[in-house]
Amino acid sequence: MNKNDLITNIAEKSGMTKKDVETVVNGVLSEITGALKDGSKVQFVGFGTFETRERSSRSGRNPQTGETINIPASTVPAFRAGNKLKDAVK
């Protein structure tokens, strides 16, 4: 399922227009992104938690040349599924 499929399905189930649903979905994604940029967690009880994690620097290898390279530390987004979501997928 992609974003357009999600918007279409929600519009059909809710009776809202696709344009209104798209505005809501884009707003939710924007707020989650903004919170993660600020270093905050976004938690939906039962569904899961969006958060950021720190990745330490490490060395890697260029597959073409075999040369060792340094991969710098970075901050990456992560999602941890909640119990209700885990149970629904089982």
Could you read off the pLDDT tens digit of each residue along the chain, which spans 90 residues?
999 999 999 999 999 999 999 999 999 999 999 999 999 999 999 999 999 999 999 999 999 999 999 999 999 999 999 999 999 999
**Plot region of 56 (φ>0 → left; ψ -120 to 50 → alpha; else → beta):** beta
* Helices then strands, each counted (H, E), the chain: 3, 5
Give just the sign of the alpha carbon dihedral 2, 8, 6, 17.
positive
Does the reported pTM lie above 0.85?
A: no
Domain ranges of the chain: 3-89
CATH 4.10.520.10 matches 3-89 = yes
Is residue 7 packed enough to be buried (19+ CB in 10 Å), middle (13-18) or exposed (0-12)?
Answer: buried
